Amino acid sequence: MPHISIVTSLYHAAPYVQTFYDRSCATLESITDDYEFIFVDDGCPAGSGDAVRALIATDPKVKLIVLSRNFGQHKALMAGLDHAAGDYVFMLDSDLEEDPELLSEFYEALQQEPELDVIYGYMAARKGKAFERWSGALFYRIINVMADLEIPPNMLMARLMKQGYVRDLMTFQESHVFLGGVFQLVGYNQRGVPCKKSDKGSTTYTLRRKLTLAMDALLSFTNKPLTYVAGLGLSVSALSLILAGILAIRLAIFDSTIEGWSLVLVSVWLLCGLIILSIGLVGFYVGRVFLQVKDRPNTIVKQIVTQESLRSEP
């Protein structure tokens, strides 16, 4: 009978905790009674952690990892995976946008194809309004053109992983974590399954957070922007030399008077803009190297709440 770990993060998730637990337990009944729940409190407001503590009081197989502050969903999930001891580790969001019943479907798929190490879900049709669908499609198109490996579009957090895969996944200690890319970097045999993701009508992922995540994804998995900037600089330099040669010929042969200060001014501004853009892009990469070499922990675990520790609390 397999030991299964269910890992999820909490942020504004208090209304969903009990239903998430009940539906997950109902799904586990058809697979195993050897399981554990790992909830990661990502510095969430009061309520979510209390709901999990109520579960711990009745089920010793539930564990709550309390982080010292909000580190972000991807880092919080990595902290949860680091404590998962199951033969299979099922990871998903706790807000019920992804169905806990996917565990049964994913587990059956792994049993039918023993050579697979990971089954993950992806949206066959991206949810949300027109801008969200358009921007999401654009993001994956850009990242797959620029990155050195292909990241499956519309990938969900919901995935069932064998312990060997999880163990190697935890060797990645990046200061800017984009799980979609790290999942692919680990390798192993993975297969996607089309799933439906519900829309609860609100999200904690603001436009700013989405843009930050997109920037992390792009800069963490490819240095091609630096190559493109170098190519652009080389092209501008070559063009400048050609134009200088043309002007020299005109002066030598035709003794022409070169006019057009507006053209010179525009050229100067263009070159200055390209230089500033290039320096800024290099600065992004240097900044990430700066943070990475500091070797700061990606998360800080403030407390691990189990049934035993809960009983000893005053």
In CATH, what number is assigned to the domain containing residue 57? 3.90.550.10
The total of other beta-carbon atoms located within 10 Å of residue 108's CB is: 13
Give the tokens for residue 49.
């952690």
* Residue 218 within a domain: no
195 and 83, same domain (yes or no): yes
175 and 111, same domain (yes or no): yes
78 and 151, same domain (yes or no): yes
**Whole-number pLDDT of residue 161:** 92
Confidence of residue 247 (pLDDT cuts 50, 70, 90): low
Look up residue 6 and give its amino acid: I
**Whole-number pLDDT of residue 23:** 92
> Which H or E run includes 150?
none
148 and 246, same domain (yes or no): no
* Residue 93 within a domain: yes
**Averaged pLDDT for residues 23-43:** 89
Which range, of 8-17, 161-170, 232-241, averages the lowest pLDDT? 232-241
CA pseudo-torsion sign 117, 119, 120, 122: positive
189 and 281, same domain (yes or no): no
- In DSSP terms, 123 is beta-bridged to 195
Of 174-188, 198-212, 241-255, 276-290, the range with the highest mean pLDDT is 174-188
Confidence of residue 119 (pLDDT cuts 50, 70, 90): very high
Look up residue 179 and give its amino acid: L
* Apex 9 CA angle, 215 and 56, nearest 5: 170
**Whole-number pLDDT of residue 275:** 75
Which range, of 9-13, 189-193, 278-282, averages the lowest pLDDT? 278-282
Of 140-154, 167-181, 202-216, the range with the highest mean pLDDT is 167-181
Q: Which residues are within 8 A (CB) of 229 and not within 5 positions of it... i.e. 6 or more apart?
A: 277, 278, 281, 282
267 and 161, same domain (yes or no): no
What is the extent of the structural domain holding 152?
4-206+298-312
**Whole-number pLDDT of residue 68:** 84
* Residue 212 within a domain: no
Kindly report whether the global pTM for this prediction surpasses the value 0.75: no
Reply yes or no on whether the pLDDT at 81 is more than 80.
yes
**Whole-number pLDDT of residue 194:** 85
**Averaged pLDDT for residues 113-128:** 81
Question: How high is the mean pLDDT of the chain?
Answer: 77
**Whole-number pLDDT of residue 50:** 80
251 and 150, same domain (yes or no): no
Please state, in angstroms and rounded to a whole number, the distance separating the CA atoms of residues 108 and 183: 21
Give the tokens for residue 64.
């709550």
105 and 193, same domain (yes or no): yes
* Apex 227 CA angle, 275 and 233, nearest 5: 35
- In DSSP terms, 146 is beta-bridged to none
* Residue 214 within a domain: no
C-beta of residue 77 within 8 angstroms of C-beta of residue 9:
yes
C-beta of residue 56 within 8 angstroms of C-beta of residue 307:
yes
Please state, in angstroms and rounded to a whole number, the distance separating the CA atoms of residues 37 and 62: 5
59 and 196, same domain (yes or no): yes
Q: Which residues are within 8 A (CB) of 289 and not within 5 positions of it... i.e. 6 or more apart?
A: none
Q: Which residues are within 8 A (CB) of 258 and not within 5 positions of it... i.e. 6 or more apart?
A: 247, 250, 251
147 and 83, same domain (yes or no): yes
125 and 21, same domain (yes or no): yes
108 and 230, same domain (yes or no): no
* Residue 213 within a domain: no
**Averaged pLDDT for residues 247-260:** 62
**Averaged pLDDT for residues 298-313:** 78
State the total domains in the chain. Answer: 2
* Residue in the block written with tokens 């290099």: 282
